[in-house]
Structure 1
Amino acid sequence: MPLLRTHTHQPPRWLPNGHYQSIFPALFRKIKPPYQRERLTTLDDDFLDIDWSFAPSTSTDIVSKPPLVILSHGLEGSSTRQYITGMVRLLNHHGYDCLAWNYRSCSGEINRQLRFYHSGETSDLDFVVKYAIAKGYTEISLMGFSLGGNVTLKYAGERGKTLPKQIHKVVVFSVPMDLLGCSRNIEKPENKVYLWRFLQTLKPKIEAKATQYPDRFDVSQWEKVKTFWDFDHIYTGPLHGFLGADDYYRRCSSTYFVEGIAVPTLIVNAENDPLVPYQSLPIKTITAMPNVWLELTAQGGHCGFRPRRFDQKGAYWSEVRALEFLQKP
């Protein structure tokens, strides 16, 4: 589909650039959906904590279920991040059930196995999808943010026409489709605060995993971690079967899988995203596809998209845009 550049998103004047537009919602937007938590035991005897939020019942039909949206969060995020909870609130109001799942180690408790999650880990998403199908959902959409967007696109692309028939649409925001390019981008001086913040949350998990597996996990290597590339080369890659950071990035970047996507898909990135350079997106590939839309907004930051004015009570531009795409026949 043709590349879409839209100016329908206008941020408040007091959020003048991508950094402010990214940071303000993350720090100051607080929404608490009525989550109901469920713990799933994975096939390798680990666990995933998933949070359900249901649409108000308006039907007397107790057999059929409403449409479901499965939401995947970003790096070191969780189901409680504002970009997830804001979306859940709006979708519930419009008749969608929501399943916001937490990656291994991201629900407040360290996972059991000698592994974590990563940008290309799609087997856990597939496990969650199959669980939702087993619960009786017949119309499912997938939604991902940042790292979760990469996971979602890779999952849809690598499965192609074998994607479960219950999955009707995909929507993703602020996606680092080129993992190497985005990893190097966050090393820039103006982005070091994000790098520092992420590494500060990852370090306790490394220490916890070393406590679980003292003979198989070397926490002393942490002193060599100065960048994301270092972290992925020392920990993420070897821990998950990759040769190192470059092999991991090459095998997990959704830019190499997007051509396989067979369902209607909307990708939304902001041109002023401080973490994801829009030039790193596979624009030519996507514009040649009939069922994938790449929408670039001039403003919005990274998983921000706070509007200057609210059309729907408290809803961000990204949430309204996602709803429009899901509701479109």
Structure 2
Amino acid sequence: MTDEAGSAGALTATAGGGRWPDLREVPFKPRAPWFNGDLQTIRNFLVVEGLGRGPAPPASRRMELPLNDGTGDRLLADYSQGEEGRGLIVLIHGLSGCSASAYMKASAAAFDAAGYSTLRLNLRGAGPSAGLSSDCYHSGRTEDLANALRTLQDQDDRIFQRGLCLVGYSLGGNMLLKFLAEYAGDFPVTAAATVCAPIDLAAASRWFDRRRNRIYQRRLLNWMLRDAVRLPLSSTQRDAIMAARTVYGFDEVFTAPRFGFESADDYYAKSSARRFLSGIETPSLLVEAQDDPWVPTASYDNVDWSVLPRLHRLSAEGGGHVGFHDNASRVPWHDRRILSFFEWVAG
């Protein structure tokens, strides 16, 4: 374990009456010159991915995971074997991400250094899974995660013996929380964590659509269009998505009708993790930043955490969107906090 991860032993009372590790005792302090939420957010693209200065992921082997849902679609994942006695951590990327995303590789490196096995999952239609998929994922398509884990267990019935932890980033975090409410009882999930999850998709859409985010909007929409045009589409569908000018517009003309929702608003309402939080029994850490330009911290403020004793919100003053590049370590702050939490849960 690196840096201050050993602080997991310190406990503090929560409003729900439970006992949690005091993860706030090591507050987030941004690394120069990445002093605000926007700079924290773009550092992954500029420095980690653009200049290749991020930590190298652990040596891994590619695994193929059939979904066995009648579609013939398969997912690809990068698996790294950890130390004897350590459990497995499955990482779930965000919107337009994949196993090669900067935050996925950085987390895998941190968890590997702590001895854990890691599996960086590519969701349906994402990254290298695109060539093996006739369809794509969305934030509420939790059955894909469940089917992938079942296949993983079928391929190696001992892979979960030392414990199973799950980590979701951004939209993958929303999917993970919904999954925990719906499927966690089917698997030996020890603990879970999310980073900057948009737990209220409608609120996140409004927040992201602000004028100040137009550069983010253009970039993310281009990534979404790139992924969508890989799929078998009619000329009408292709024309509709190419005409979209916002992420909301894309969800209105593509995501919602493709998956049987009445509208983008209906898709957001039925897929948002917030409506599933009360059904989560797995000890879970929800990390978020108050200066996140993509996800409003108000979504977390509006939840009564006192009635959710299995959930622990960790709100940092800074960190941006899945950034958390601080001055204490090359390992991102959120990864060190997640490790502390998992260590505490494991006892």
Fold shared, TM-score > 0.5 on shorter chain: yes
Matching residue within 135, 140, 153 for 1:120? 140
Mapped partners of 1:163, 1:22: distance in 2 = 34
Q: TM-score, normalised by structure 2?
A: 0.85
SS in 2 for 1:218: helix
Per the TM alignment, residue 108 of structure 1 is displaced from its structure 2 partner at its CA by 3.6
SS in 1 for 2:222: helix
Mapped partners of 1:284, 1:218: distance in 2 = 37
Written as runs of structure 1 = structure 2, the 5 A alignment for 1:246-265 is 246-265=265-284
CA 1:124 to 1:280, structure 2 compared with 1: closer, same or farther past 3 Å?
same
Identity %: 28
Alignment-mate amino acid for residue 15 of structure 2:
P
Written as runs of structure 1 = structure 2, the 5 A alignment for 1:14-163 is 14-29=33-48, 30-33=54-57, 34-43=59-68, 44-55=71-82, 57=83, 59=84, 66-108=86-128, 110-111=130-131, 115-134=135-154, 135=156, 136=158, 137-138=160-161, 139-159=163-183, 163=185
Deviations 1:190-246, CA, capped at 9 Å, x for gaps: 11111111111122333332xx3447x621113431111111110001111211101
Mapped partners of 2:229, 2:269: distance in 1 = 27
User: Quick check: 1:173 aligned with 2:195?
Assistant: yes
Partner of 1:293: 312
Partner of 1:62: none
Query: Does the 8 Å CA contact 1:180/1:246 hold for their aligned counterparts?
Result: yes
Deviates more, 1:226-235 or 1:109-118: 109-118
Alignment-mate amino acid for residue 317 of structure 1:
W
Alignment-mate amino acid for residue 196 of structure 2:
S
User: Quick check: 1:323 aligned with 2:323?
Assistant: no
Alignment-mate amino acid for residue 9 of structure 1:
F
Name the count of aligned residue pairs: 314
Per the TM alignment, residue 165 of structure 1 is displaced from its structure 2 partner at its CA by 4.5
Q: TM-score, normalised by structure 1?
A: 0.89
Query: Does the 8 Å CA contact 1:25/1:306 hold for their aligned counterparts?
Result: no
Partner of 2:7: none
CA 1:173 to 1:109, structure 2 compared with 1: closer, same or farther past 3 Å?
closer
Mapped partners of 2:172, 2:72: distance in 1 = 23
Superposition RMSD in Å: 2.0
CA 1:22 to 1:213, structure 2 compared with 1: closer, same or farther past 3 Å?
closer
CA 1:35 to 1:288, structure 2 compared with 1: closer, same or farther past 3 Å?
same
Deviations 1:128-166, CA, capped at 9 Å, x for gaps: 22233332112101110000100000100234xx62351
Mapped partners of 2:129, 2:308: distance in 1 = 41
Query: Does the 8 Å CA contact 1:283/1:294 hold for their aligned counterparts?
Result: no
Alignment-mate amino acid for residue 175 of structure 2:
V
SS in 2 for 1:70: strand
Mapped partners of 2:239, 2:201: distance in 1 = 26
Written as runs of structure 1 = structure 2, the 5 A alignment for 1:144-223 is 144-159=168-183, 163-209=185-231, 212-214=232-234, 218-223=237-242
Alignment-mate amino acid for residue 340 of structure 2:
E
Structure 2 alignment gaps of length 5 or more: 1-13, 17-21, 49-53
Mapped partners of 1:103, 1:263: distance in 2 = 22
Deviates more, 1:285-294 or 1:92-101: 285-294
Query: Does the 8 Å CA contact 1:171/1:322 hold for their aligned counterparts?
Result: yes
Alignment-mate amino acid for residue 270 of structure 2:
R
Query: Does the 8 Å CA contact 1:21/1:305 hold for their aligned counterparts?
Result: yes
User: Quick check: 1:2 aligned with 2:24?
Assistant: no
SS in 1 for 2:141: coil
Per the TM alignment, residue 304 of structure 1 is displaced from its structure 2 partner at its CA by 0.4
Query: Does the 8 Å CA contact 2:125/2:134 hold for their aligned counterparts?
Result: no
Alignment-mate amino acid for residue 333 of structure 2:
W
Structure 1 alignment gaps of length 5 or more: 60-64
Alignment-mate amino acid for residue 131 of structure 1:
T
Alignment-mate amino acid for residue 66 of structure 2:
T
Mapped partners of 1:254, 1:167: distance in 2 = 18
Query: Does the 8 Å CA contact 1:32/1:80 hold for their aligned counterparts?
Result: no
Mapped partners of 1:109, 1:265: distance in 2 = 28
